[in-house]
Amino acid sequence: MLGRLIRRVANLEAAIAESTAQRRELHNQLVELRGNIRVFSRVKPHPASALTLGGDGASVRLFAEGKDQGFTFDRVFGPQSTQAEVFQEVSELVQSALDGFKVCLFSYGQTGAGKTHTMQGSKGPDAQGIIPRAILKILDEVERLKEQGWVYELEASFIEVYNETFKDLLADGKGRDAGKITDQNAVKHGVAGGHTQVAGATTVRITTTDAAAALVRKAAQARACEATAMNAVSSRSHSVFMLNITGRHAASATTLRGALNLVDLAGSERLNRSQAEGQRQKEACSINKSLSSLGDVFAALASKSAHVPYRNSKLTHLLQPCLGGSGKTLMFVNVNPEAPSLQETLCSLRFAAKVNSCETAARGGAKRHVERAGCEAPSSSAATAQVTLHSIPSLSKHASLAGLYM
């Protein structure tokens, strides 16, 4: 009797593990059909908007440079969109990170367009941005998966890229040099079986939402912010919230290693409009160089170049696993609809539109990092999803991506 019960329990555990694996495969196929590189636009509220939103929820128009110009993305969030609505659209990628994929979410746009509001938000549950909501979703899911025999480890770092130098935003101490990482080879890919780390950066084990919130607050206080002509408090650096996720299931001898990188990019702005001088001018040049390098990476991916210039900037080198064929990327282009910002808005929309023409699934399909009994086994969904994607041309984005950063 006892032997039969033990065998029955083992069979049930195996069935649960198999159904969970099938759920992961189906979820990934859905994500890949929508595109491994997707672009959303979010319009900042303003009483006198110079933008017109399309009725399809995916397009925006503006009159600039003497003509009417239109742009289409995967989704456009209007001024009335809520933080909850925004996160609902990106939550499937948070799930992908739990499933063992490398995921990156960017917030891009001119200074003062609402990037930090989108990524971090403000106080109050309704005002929370993508970072706190993603952490809450992951912790809730980790707790639920315990019932199925899964044990997860969540390790977080918060990195700033300032003038092509890494800074640990979780380091103790004050002053501009606190947390500065001088090692030029600090980025380490493939650590602990597949994770990316920055040597010398603080790594914090995340177990509760309160601990995560404290971590985000500490990083926000340490971030380099200065005034420019375009914004009284302008973020002069890129910030990257890095969450390495390791899930283990003893009964099936399966290990998943995913990553979620949430990136609040520095404000993209032209020097003549920001009126940057001295150190501010140096910062602006560094910001624009790194954004241009990001554009070069997407251009190389779109053209299927044999060489992708990830190492041209600290930011793209850090995010390399998410940007290539094995990763999933979502970019938010935040735009300011007021008339004086139209030229900056146009540049942002052009950049985002050309990123939207790139598709990493065309380079071989996404693979999650999964190990069974000590052996790495790429997901079989890659070939399946690739065939399905190419059988539906409207879901595949193929276009030239030259001159990406305007």
Dist CA 268 CA 11 (whole Å): 56
Annotated ligand binding at 295? The verdict is no
**Closest residue by Cα to residue 328 from 29, 18, 57, 84:** 29
Crossing angle of helices 2-34 and 83-98, in 10° steps, is 120
First-last CA distance in the chain: 73
Annotated ligand binding at 116? The verdict is yes
Annotated ligand binding at 304? The verdict is no
Q: Evaluate whether 337 touches 112 at the Cβ level (below 8 Å).
A: no
Crossing angle of helices 209-222 and 130-145, in 10° steps, is 150
Annotated ligand binding at 80? The verdict is no
Six-digit token string for 72 = 């289409």
Q: Evaluate whether 230 touches 129 at the Cβ level (below 8 Å).
A: no
Annotated ligand binding at 114? The verdict is yes
Computed on alpha carbons and rounded to an integer, the radius of gyration of the chain in Å comes to 21
Inter-CA distances, 343 with 109, 110, 282, 348, 354, Å: 12, 10, 22, 9, 17
Q: Evaluate whether 83 touches 240 at the Cβ level (below 8 Å).
A: no
Query: Which residue positions form the known binding site?
Result: 109-116
Query: Which residue positions form the known binding site for ATP?
Result: 109-116
